Structure formats: structure tokens, C-alpha cells
Amino acid sequence: MGSFAVVAIGGNSLIRDKNRRRVEDQYLAIVDTAKSLVDIIEAGYRIVVTHGNGAQVGFILRRSEIAFKSEGLHFVPLVSCVADTQGAIGYQIQQALNNEFTLRGIRQQAVTIVTQVKVHEDDPAFKNPTKPIGAFYSEEEFTSLQASHPDWIMVQDAGRGYRRVVPSPSPVEIIERKAIQTLVDNDFCVIAVGGGGIPVLDTGGAQLKGIDAVIDKDYSAALLAKDLQADTLIISTGVDSICLHYGTPEEKPLSRMTLSETRGYIEEGHFAAGSMLPKIKAIVQFLEQGGQKAIIAQPQHLKQALQGEIGTWIVQD
């Protein structure tokens, strides 16, 4: 049946620049990305697509904050923002893919699954929330919000005001995994686990409860790839290769790394915690659990990256 890949699209790659942030602009970016995804399918791959949502969740939260300040309207819970963006971004991706399938005469259909991902209640991240979300608030607004939302954790952010921080726990289980697998087995192109998944806790008796947190999308993509026994994990991002000494005169792009070399580079501190490091750690996790290779490249260059013409390959030793 050919090779099988999970492709993780970065949420920021769907926002081309500060002047093109509208929903309509995002769709145009997705249309371009869809062409690259279908190029992969035409090259003989079956794919499952996942995506980021950081910028889009930020927009929803900002609208919610403005509505709160202006009209006293209730806030949208973060867990609902993740679900909202899964549906909205998934809709755009599946529409763009289905249109591209039709143009190329490919008998396939894309479908989106709103996906929950279980996390552990005792994950250390819940004791030390560090992921900032939403706007900055004044001292007066902070006092009001603490009264109306006593469960929120808010911190002073470098003198710019108070900001909410939330946990970023590790993904443990993809709740809809069997449904995703069934669709894949029946030749659907599935979009799932958007934004790292909707974080849920098992409250006992297999009862699930959503929780305000942010799961790193790349770790969830690695878990999804492992569960579906994909041989390839593709992470699209804003650069076309991994670099050592990034941003310095000694910058060195890498076209290929082995798993052991990658571990060594991590230990040497080559990758920034807020950008490339989570992607690299997710790839290491995927390869350690049986994956064959991972590829990092820009979304418009995915076909060339699969052919080894661009991007970075990380492979087993």
C-alpha cells in the first residue's frame, strides 16, 4: 500500500504575515499547503494530517477578552477554543484537499475528526503552568479576573501587565484513535489531533472531562504516528532545514542526522526550547518507538523534502 506518513502542519505557517491574518487569508495559505500534501499522496504516500492552532486560539481568546471588557460577556474556555479551532481549521484543510483531489482526478476524500487527547492529572505541568496565553491585563483587571475566575493562574509578565499561564502536559492517549484508524484503513485522508488535541482527564469509570491546558502539537503528532504505525513523521515549519549554531556566523544547515547524532545535539544545547527543541524531541520519541524516519521542511517544499532535495532527514542509526 506504499509508505504512510503523519504530516504536522505548523499553525503559524497558516498565517503568512501580520497583514494576512484573516480567515480568508488563512484559507489561501491552506490551499497552497493542500497542493503540497496532494503532491505527497501522488508520490505514493498515504497521509494523516495534523496541525497547530496557537495563533488561531489566540484570536478567539482575544475576541473573548474584548467582549468581556466591552459587554461583560462570559469568556470562552480554553478547552473549547481548542475544539473550535480543530473544527474550523480542519474544515478548511479538508475542503482544500477535496477540491485538489477533484482537480487532479484522485478518488479520495478528506475528513476531519475533532479529537480528544488524554493527559495525566499528576503530570508535573499542572503544578507548574508555564504556557502564556491571551492578553496582558492591568492591576485593576487582574483583581477583577481573580475574583471571577479563581481557578486562573496569572503572573506578572516583565512589567507589561498580568497574563494567564496554563499547563502544557504530555499526551498520553488519543481517545479517537480507533476511529482514525478505521477511516485510514478505508482510504480516507484524515485530519485529526489538531492543536495537539483537546486535553481531557479520566475522572474514573472511563468518564472524561476537558481541562484548560495546551498540549504540544508535535508530541501529539509523534504519538499519533506511533499509534498508527506510520513509517514517516513530517513536521512542516518556517525553515527548510535544521541548523547547528542557528542565527550565528557559524550557522550550519543539516540535510541528514541519525538518531544518536540528534540526541547528542540536544545534549549540546543546539536547539531553542521555544522553537525547534520540542519538534526534535518529538522526532526522537517517534524514532525510539519504531518510526523509520522524520523530515523537517517548509510546507511548500514537502515533495522535494521527501525526495531528499531539501529539508532535514532524521533516521535510525
Active site amino acids: 11-12, 131, 217, 279
Q: Give residue for cell 475574583.
A: 147
- 117 and 199 in contact (C-beta within 8 Å)? yes
The edge-to-edge listing of strands for the beta sheet with 173-174 is: 173-174, 116-118, 198-202, 208-210
**Alpha carbon distance, N-terminus to C-terminus of the chain:** 25
Q: Annotate 56-114 with DSSP letters as a single string.
A: HHHHHHHHHHHHHHHH-PPPPPHHHHHHHHHHHHHHHHHHHHHHHHHHHT---EEEE--
- 233 and 280 in contact (C-beta within 8 Å)? no
Q: Which one, of 283, 266, 277, 182, lies nearest residue 226 by Cα?
A: 283
Report the C-alpha gap between 206 and 208 in whole angstroms: 6
Report the half-sphere exposure of 44 (CA within 13 A, side-chain side): 5
